[in-house]
Amino acid sequence: MIIDCHTRIWASPGQMGLGAAGWLVRHGGQENLSADPGEHAAASRDVTKTLVWGFRSRRLKADVPNAFLSDYVAQHKQQAVGIAAIDPTEPDAMERLANIADHSGFAGITISPAAQGFHPADTRAYKVYAFCAERRLGVFVESGTDFAPQAVLEFARPHLFDEIARDFPALTIVIAAMGSPWVNETVTLMAKQPGVYADIAALLRRPWGAYESLLKAHQSGVTGKLLFGSDFPFSTAAEAIERMYRINEITHGTGLPTVPREILRGIIERDAMTELQIGNRD
């Protein structure tokens, strides 16, 4: 079993909002990168299930519509699970959240404090966390890696979610890309808080950073809380798996420690749906 915990689709790159062109170039090497649903379905054939993330930001004028995700998930019920986008700063955020909770194809929501311009402990966000904890919706957090110039970088720090984890112990929180570039904060947070996990999406295209991050997690004893993610459309699941198994090549000819292969296999083959207690709620 392989669960791809971090993928995207969009109708056009412009749906990613202000600064999307530069972000796509930095992140994937091309301005007009396609995240076509058909290509996503083809790339997902190598995995058991795939989580498909939305994106919404009033600050960045970004919107990959949840209806777009819903249609895709409905067409691929056996494989695709939706992670709907919520912007807690919008006046109708709770109404949108209620609609998401009533939709069996959505297993959680994604937020981005930096891209949406709110502190993680904002009162508006707390209403979202409380609702998600009660309805058992996972909260997937876009944290770092690349941001538009308009994003608020200080709100991206993973350690800010310690307060949320303390106040909502029943809430499942997943930090994208191990909170890169603040990986140490995410590792500490995972070790401290039972409900906090992280995915490795976006790390594997940067071998040294990926090696450092995985080694830190291994030496800290938290690899059991890491989730596989391909970061489609920037990488396919097959490409990400190959990069994962080659992560120790960077140590060849050196005295550097390696990340045991069984640890790498455990991350790739983790049953994230059961671990996070999420899934289609039919």
pLDDT in tens, 109-162: 999 999 999 999 999 999 999 999 999 999 999 976 567 788 899 999 999 999
Percent of the chain with pLDDT over 90: 79
pLDDT at site 14: 82
pLDDT tens, residue by residue, 82-92: 999 999 999 99
d(CA 224, CA 141): 19
- Report strand pairing: 106-111 vs 196-199: unpaired
Q: According to the model, what pLDDT value does residue 184 have?
A: 97
CATH 3.20.20.140 fits 3-276, yes or no: yes
b (16+ CB within 10 A) / e for 160-177:
bbbebbeebeebbbbbbb
The pLDDT, as a whole number, for residue 281 is: 46
Give 38's pLDDT tier (boundaries 50, 70, 90).
Answer: very high
Q: Which residue is listed with tokens 């997937």?
A: 140
Phi, psi of 252 (to 5 degrees): -60, 130
Tens of pLDDT, residues 180-211: 999 999 999 999 999 999 999 989 988 999 99
b/e per residue 56-79 (b: at least 16 CB within 10 A):
bbbbbebbbbbebbbebbeebeeb
The shares of helix, strand and coil residues in the chain, as percent rounded to the nearest 5, are: 45, 15, 40
Q: Enter the pTM of the model.
A: 0.94
Closest CA to 121 of 159, 178, 73: 159
Identify the band that residue 26 occupies on the pLDDT scale cut at 50, 70 and 90: low
Residue 280 banded pLDDT, cuts 50, 70, 90: very low
Tokens found for residue 220: 């800290």
C-alpha 30/C-alpha 25 separation (Å) is 5
Position 32 scores a pLDDT of: 65
- Taking the C-alpha atoms of residue 12 and residue 260, their distance in angstroms, rounded to an integer, is 40
Q: What are the sequence ranges of the domains in the chain? A: 3-276
For residue 52, what are its two tokens?
Answer: 């498909």
